Chain A
Amino acid sequence: MSEKKSGKRPDGRAYNDMRPVKMQVGVLKHANGSAYVEFGKTHVYASVHGPKKVHPRHMEDGEKAILRCRYNMIPFSVNDRKRPGYDRRSVEIAKVISEALQPMVFLEEFPKSAIDIDLEITQADAGTRVAALTAASLALADAGIPMRDLVAAVAAGRANGEILLDLTKEEEDAKDAVDMPVAMTHRDNKVMLLQMDGDMSREDLNQMLIVAKEGCAELAKMQKAALREKYKVE
């Protein structure tokens, strides 16, 4: 990683440090593939079911598999209880995660079938969508689904005038906070997911992309290590 600035963050990290990351592959017995990922206090389970028959049938695509994604925050994942069920934020997040993953998978190998990804946020402290996408990528690989590449995702942002990697909820609550989730492919750093909220200059954008790129590269190494951990020869 590049040179660290002196300004320490509430939890003692440098501006370009990730929170402690934990990744584990194959954590759920009944899914075809699964993963558990922690970014600090943000905890996510991802499961993959499929390729399987499509229900309802009218969603079937004769030329390729459909990749469906569900993002769900469990009721006690946040301070104020999250009411279970349909909400617009979850619908949008599931859409952008699904779109980030579709080019990774050889969908054309499985016409008329569905690949379902379920993402359960069990504890939330900012960065849930990027942790979820990082986990989803691992779960797809664990399911043995042929893929072109994997993606890693992390948020870059700004709080109290500093460009930061992997913001916590506390940092996201700063008055000038900007949050920018980014997902990149392992091999050539193609941006596959990008969102932003806040108020920033073009210069900030370029700096955040640099910080995010470093973070994604670090996560990519951990993802590979987590997969090798499950699939090693004794």
Chain B
Amino acid sequence: MKANKEYILEMLKASKRLDGRALDEMRPIKIEIGISENAEGSARVTIGDTVVLAGVKMATAEPYSDSPDKGVMTTSAEFMPCASHKFEGGRPGEVEVELARVVDRGIRGSECLDFEKLCITPGEKVWLSFLDILVLDHDGNLIDAAGIAAAAAFLDAKFPALDSEGKVDRSVPLTDKKLPMAGIPLAITVRKINGVLMLDTTEAEEEAVGARVTITTKDNGNITSIQMGGIGGFTDAEISEAAKITEKTAKKLRDGAFKKAF
């Protein structure tokens, strides 16, 4: 692994990558929706050799007392042991917790999902949406893949039917009513390795260490969440540059892979 790391750093000096991509070039992306019969909405996202699944399940619950007229969303992420020898299963570690929280904040901050429309009876009953993210195959750039899958799963999702007592009725198919998801919030990560900013890193590239910044933008280009991580620092000029790159890349995805899938 070490020789690989030194080689990657050496190539980066000439702005070259192992797989021949440009620094700001994503690997081929595929979004497949409706991949699970039993989910209210689901998606499989493939970026190069990275595969991530996202699914949305709905339930009803009492609202929180401080937001009686708003639905609730919870996000979990699990890195399956089959995805990498580095993953062990069990209670979510800090990497999984961070990924889930970054994706969650990106969607929440964008207000693309209308929580008020997830209210059934104010103060009594609201929709509770569970977003579950599963990493099936890990070749880097997991946050972006997870964010894309999450947005696609919500766009794909339809409400289940309620029975006469107002409980979710699983004996009938889903209704035709889509979840109130307007727009596509997308988290894009820029990594800095040896002073070079790059997009869509592979696992080997991520092994070469470096800091990252993930910036979520919504359709109008506004930023709805930022998360820096990894080891290292950015100058403020690099942060501004990363914001430009992520906005452009998210737009390209909305106009490309998302258009194709929906």
**Contact (Cβ within 8 A) B109 A197:** yes
**Contact (Cβ within 8 A) A205 B235:** no
Partner of A192 from B105, B109, B233 at Cβ < 8 Å: B233
Q: Give CA–CA (A194, B222) in the complex, Å.
A: 17
A6 cross-chain contacts in B, Cβ below 8 A: none
Q: Give CA–CA (A102, B213) in the complex, Å.
A: 17
In angstroms, how far is the closest chain B Cβ from the Cβ of A81? 14
**Contact (Cβ within 8 A) A191 B234:** yes
A195 and B228 in contact (CB under 8 A), knowing A95-B98, A201-B222, A205-B223?
Answer: yes
Q: Does B94 contact A (CB under 8 A)?
A: yes
Q: Does B110 contact A (CB under 8 A)?
A: yes
**Contact (Cβ within 8 A) A202 B97:** no
A191 and B239 in contact (CB under 8 A), knowing A197-B109, A199-B109, A202-B247?
Answer: yes
List CB contacts (< 8 Å) of A181-205 with chain B. Answer: 185, 188-202, 204-205
**Contact (Cβ within 8 A) B109 A102:** no
**Contact (Cβ within 8 A) B229 A196:** no
B110 cross-chain contacts in A, Cβ below 8 A: 199
B97 cross-chain contacts in A, Cβ below 8 A: 88, 91-92, 95
In angstroms, how far is the closest chain B Cβ from the Cβ of A133? 12
**Contact (Cβ within 8 A) B223 A190:** no
List CB contacts (< 8 Å) of B228-250 with chain A. Answer: 228-236, 239-240, 243-244, 247
A88 cross-chain contacts in B, Cβ below 8 A: 92, 97, 100-101
**Contact (Cβ within 8 A) B222 A199:** yes
**Contact (Cβ within 8 A) B109 A193:** no
Q: Give CA–CA (A209, B163) in the complex, Å.
A: 52
**Contact (Cβ within 8 A) A194 B228:** yes
Q: Give CA–CA (A112, B221) in the complex, Å.
A: 46
B240 cross-chain contacts in A, Cβ below 8 A: 202, 205-206, 209
List CB contacts (< 8 Å) of B118-135 with chain A. Answer: none
**Contact (Cβ within 8 A) B236 A209:** yes
A206 cross-chain contacts in B, Cβ below 8 A: 236, 240
Q: Does A180 contact B (CB under 8 A)?
A: yes
A199 and B224 in contact (CB under 8 A), knowing A92-B101, A205-B243, A209-B239?
Answer: yes
A-B pairs with lowest CB-CB distance, top 7 = A190-B233, A196-B226, A194-B228, A95-B94, A209-B236, A191-B234, A91-B97
CB<8 Å pairs between A and B, sample of 12: A88-B101, A96-B98, A103-B232, A189-B235, A190-B234, A191-B228, A191-B239, A195-B226, A197-B105, A199-B110, A201-B223, A209-B236
